[in-house]
Chains A and B, each alone.
Chain A
Amino acid sequence: MTKPVLTINNLQASIEDKEILKGVTLEVKGGEIHAIMGPNGTGKSTLSQVIMGHPKYEVTGGEIFMNGEDVLEMEVDERAKAGLFLAMQYPSEIPGVTNSDFLRMAKRAKLTEENKRLSISAFVKDLNQKIDDLKMQKDMANRYLNEGFSGGEKKRNEILQLLMLEPQIAILDEIDSGLDVDALKVVGDAINSMRKPDFGCLIITHYQRVLDYIKPDFVHVMMHGRIVKSGDIELMKKIDQEGYDWIKI
């Protein structure tokens, strides 16, 4: 299998005519873990939503490719089928739809035309195993999707979906918010277990906390709608000690 690659070139995007992204360029390949750090309100979450195709944002320039295919031409579901996944900062609640039914539909949606069959028993076994791995409550499969979940449960549920749907490139938007240290470790272990050449990951965070558990290969600093500095884990350490003020735009 060829390594997946997500390519972002000079991406510009706005919301209600307010420009948020002012030319973001980034490439995430299979086997790599990238972290984007930066203060609040610099466009980190916007970047993740624009990659996934949130209807609220308007792309005003630049391009996004997934394995060479034009992502900006795709509907949101086509982006998922192309191998993208976004673990959301604020996942929606869907009352009346169980986690298990939803995941089965999502899993089936990703199967190719030739391979439409999904073994229910294998699915249930797999789901229960992953619920266990994430140290989630046993009844999680039968609860309504995110409804009444605590902040931490929602975040773990995003990771559960990530594990079940096995995307090629995953974006984790502020996955550490609402997680205590134990939960953070569980989530970190889960992401680390996915590390392989056909999986790439982009972690968006404004604390370095989560990066104690998932070691990024590349660290980027985003400010004022642009990636202003890129480096390795040393960059993260410097930010941890000195904050963002030393970075000149």
Chain B
Amino acid sequence: MSQANLLLPLAEKTNIKDWDFENLDLKDVSAPSIEISDVIPEGVKNYIVIVDGWVVFKNLENGIKLENKGIELIRENNKLIDINKNKKNSLLTVTIEKNTNLSEPLYITYVSKNRSLVHQTEIILQESSSANIVETFVSDSKFNSNIISKIAVGANANLNTSVINRLNGESTVYYHRMTEVAADATLEATNFIINDSNVVFEDFTHLVGKGANANVATVSIATKEQKQNLTIRVENLAPFSNGNIVNYGISKDSAHLAFNGIGKIHKGMNGGDNQQETRVLNLSVSSEAIANPFLLIDEGDITAGHAASIGQLDEEQVYYLMSRGLSKQESEKLIVSGFLTPFANIIKNEVLKDELLNSIEVKLG
């Protein structure tokens, strides 16, 4: 298919037709200088920092290899994936070798400083390995980004991965992730889409091995004029596989936030389970929050379910808290942090828990 015929991502419930995804600044730049303390938390032992496509810092324990083997996982194609294939200016392949259990989390930070980030990451966990990987995307510039992430979790491997999207500035971001989870492997994914950009976020997980498991938890806080469209999809492509999607979102001011949750159990994949839950809270009269769940089932011998709720900020709650001396802003923040408590409770990493609390402070402060 030629590029001209490719379409934009589906991004249901959001009109992205006029978004300027293609406005990418791809000029050549030299490796910018940056302070490591600005991008990597203190005490972190495994890290990689990539700025404008240059690896500027790294420190890795044994068993982590940065090899460019390449994996072909992307089953999807669209106009923006095609742009990434042809114009990427940043590439990282991380392999966790067979039987390696990383003793410390691996922090990967991508910084867009002087040009657009058109990036592709490949993360390969070989058989029976385990890793905790925290990827952070940072920008305070107005450059648009296009990011693709391919992840393969090998048989009996265990990946705990977190994506923190802090692409600030008034930019447009396309993020697409495709993960394959092999037999008896487990993926625990946490996505923090807490930025100031317009975002199309797609996280697609394929459970391809018997007994594969995926828990994908995503949180978003959209404020001001921001538009965010997030599609989280988990497909059972093997018997006895288990998928679970949890989405939490806050929409405020004039923001638009749409969550599409898609669970799909293919024919013949008996004994599988596919669950999803989406909770969104609308804080303003002019903000919009949408929960759009799909459950597509082609097999009888399975369990599946979905739950969705859209709440409005309760004026009685605000009044109650204010009557005890909290300001309107403090009351709102407290209600939001309470709303997000069930989400915070599923985050095991304390650093990320703090990140979530800070995000509430920054976005609603």
Q: Which residues of A contact B (CB under 8 A)?
A: 52-55, 75-77, 79-81, 85-86, 88, 91-97, 102, 105-106, 109-110, 144-145, 161, 165
The one of B315, B325, B334 that contacts A55, using a Cβ cutoff of 8 Å: B315
Chain A residues lying within 8 Å of B340, measured Cβ to Cβ, are 96
Chain A residues lying within 8 Å of B317, measured Cβ to Cβ, are 92-94
Chain A residues lying within 8 Å of B68, measured Cβ to Cβ, are none
List 8 interface pairs A-B (beta carbons < 8 Å), by A numbering.
A53-B323, A76-B322, A88-B323, A91-B320, A94-B317, A95-B339, A97-B334, A105-B330
Contact count A vs B, C-beta below 8 Å = 80
Distance in angstroms between the alpha carbons of A133 and B317 in the assembled complex: 27
The one of B321, B322, B323 that contacts A94, using a Cβ cutoff of 8 Å: B321
A106 near B325 with CB under 8 A, answer yes
Q: Which of A52, A85, A106, A110 has the most CB of B within 10 A?
A: A106
Closest chain A residue to B343, Cβ basis? A96
A96 near B342 with CB under 8 A, answer yes
User: In the assembled complex, how far is the CB of residue B321 from the closest CB belonging to chain A, in whole angstroms?
Assistant: 7
Chain A residues lying within 8 Å of B327, measured Cβ to Cβ, are 75, 77, 109
Q: Is B350 an interface residue (CB 8 A)?
A: no
Distance in angstroms between the alpha carbons of A52 and B322 in the assembled complex: 10
Distance in angstroms between the alpha carbons of A40 and B224 in the assembled complex: 45
Provided the pairs A76-B319, A105-B334 are in contact, do residues A95 and B341 lie with their beta carbons within 8 angstroms? Answer: yes
B319 near A54 with CB under 8 A, answer yes
Distance in angstroms between the alpha carbons of A110 and B323 in the assembled complex: 11
B339 near A110 with CB under 8 A, answer no
Chain A residues lying within 8 Å of B328, measured Cβ to Cβ, are 75, 77
Distance in angstroms between the alpha carbons of A100 and B30 in the assembled complex: 52
Distance in angstroms between the alpha carbons of A55 and B322 in the assembled complex: 11
User: In the assembled complex, how far is the CB of residue B265 from the closest CB belonging to chain A, in whole angstroms?
Assistant: 32
B325 near A97 with CB under 8 A, answer no
Distance in angstroms between the alpha carbons of A106 and B328 in the assembled complex: 12
Q: Is B69 an interface residue (CB 8 A)?
A: no
B334 near A109 with CB under 8 A, answer no
Distance in angstroms between the alpha carbons of A99 and B118 in the assembled complex: 47
Distance in angstroms between the alpha carbons of A105 and B322 in the assembled complex: 11
User: In the assembled complex, how far is the CB of residue B249 from the closest CB belonging to chain A, in whole angstroms?
Assistant: 15
Provided the pairs A94-B338, A96-B338, A97-B334 are in contact, do residues A106 and B320 lie with their beta carbons within 8 angstroms? Answer: no
